[in-house]
Amino acid sequence: MSKVNVFISYARKDYESALRLHNDLKNLGVTPWLDSEDLLPGEKWETNINKVIKTCTYFIALLSSHSVSKKGFVQKEIKRALDVLDEFPDSTIYLIPARLDDCEPNNEKLQAIHRVDLFPSYEDGLKRILSVLIPDKIDSKITPLPDEFEAKVTPPPDYQYRRITGSKETDHTYFEMVKTRFLETKDAIAKRIVSDFLNEGDSIVLDGGTSLVAVANEIVSRFKLAPITTHFSIMTHNRRAFDILTDGTDLSAYLDVFLAGGLYNRNLNAFFGAHTVAAYTNYFPKVVVIGAVGISSKHGLFCHGNTEELALKQFLSAMPTRDRIIVVDFTKIGVLNGHCFCKPQNLSLNTDRCIIVSNKPDETADKSIKERFANELLSFSSYAAIETI
């Protein structure tokens, strides 16, 4: 096993904070190790974690009101790290306690080690950690990039299996539940995207979700009308969109379709994980089409994030591309729903243009909804072009 720079220890309820630190360190040139990111399928997890703790250069213990009072493996990790620390000279820095909130560790040995706070300013705390990890490279201008996560792999096992298992009697997936909602709206938005923004020869990324299935259907419809003009290279982790594109076309379509496979999540009918991100990493699209369950001009774009969707959305929304297209119907505009994966000011980063494609509220919509729709799109116009149908 190759030696890693930093081991990150955390309680399961602090997983998002651990993942954020992992990705910020990776983006800044450090090699972090996180169990959900670096354990391979089939590895004996406890054995490998113990090996990494013994061989890593630094051990960061993320402390919070969850972890200091929690019984479990996180306490074993910290105790093992303290045992390793005893083998070093007193002047050596190995274990770095990093607080996520105003908590106090119960372990006396841990209390004796000077800690760093990642609150109220995460950025200031990160800079202090970097001053230890990479003292020769630390720059006062370094700031973390939470909206450009590089990778996210398997979530904590107890969370993962709870989401993707279930009896046949209770197998009502989110994908199946929402696929029939607003079909006409989804189809109309898809027609606008395919006709106005997809050029022959474009390489395209299609996000997960039922709105992107409508885009796949429209591409197949275009093929049936004019096969010779359906010349696209498409990569997607959306299982249903992939099936539609491959089953609905033939070689006359000049269509290359790639499935960014990984860990399959039946609830969202899509793939996530290390292999998914790796596939996209070496793909340079002209168009990235992304769905959202809510968008707010103040907060940004939202997804449920109930599997590895959040990190993949963050990755896709930061990909360099010619056109970044956000698909959202009017009922989701001005709505905060789930996890924010892209801030409004970041919509135009790494792209020639960002376009929000939506439909106008129908005549029966409440006046307040119409006003919210108009105000939100006006505010969003500072960051993206607006297309309504």
Averages of pLDDT over each 10 residues, the chain, 389 residues: 74 87 85 88 88 94 86 88 92 94 89 92 90 71 43 37 34 49 83 94 95 94 84 94 88 82 85 88 95 94 81 94 95 90 94 95 86 94 93
pLDDT value, residue 167:
35
DSSP 326: E
Q: How far apart are the first and last CA of the chain?
A: 55
Of 276, 355, 358, 275, the C-alpha closest to 321 is 355
Angular region, 72: left φ>0, alpha ψ -120 to 50, beta rest? left
Alpha helices in 226-323 (DSSP H): 239-247, 274-281, 309-316
Which domains does the chain carry? 6-146 (3.40.50.10140), 174-388 (3.40.50.1360)
| Token pair belonging to 43 | 């590895």
Cβ-contact 347, 386 below 8 angstroms: no
Residue 158 pLDDT: 36
Compute the distance between CA of residue 215 and CA of residue 245 in angstroms, rounded to an integer: 10
Pick the closest to residue 239 from 263, 275, 204 (CA basis): 263
| CA dist., res. 61 & res. 88, Å (int) | 18
Max Cα–Cα distance, the chain, nearest Å: 75
Closest listed residue to residue 10, CA positions, set 70, 54, 52 = 70
- Indicate the pTM of the whole model: 0.56
| Distances, alpha carbon 70 to alpha carbons 31, 67, 81, in Å | 27, 5, 17
CB 309 within 8 A of CB 272: yes
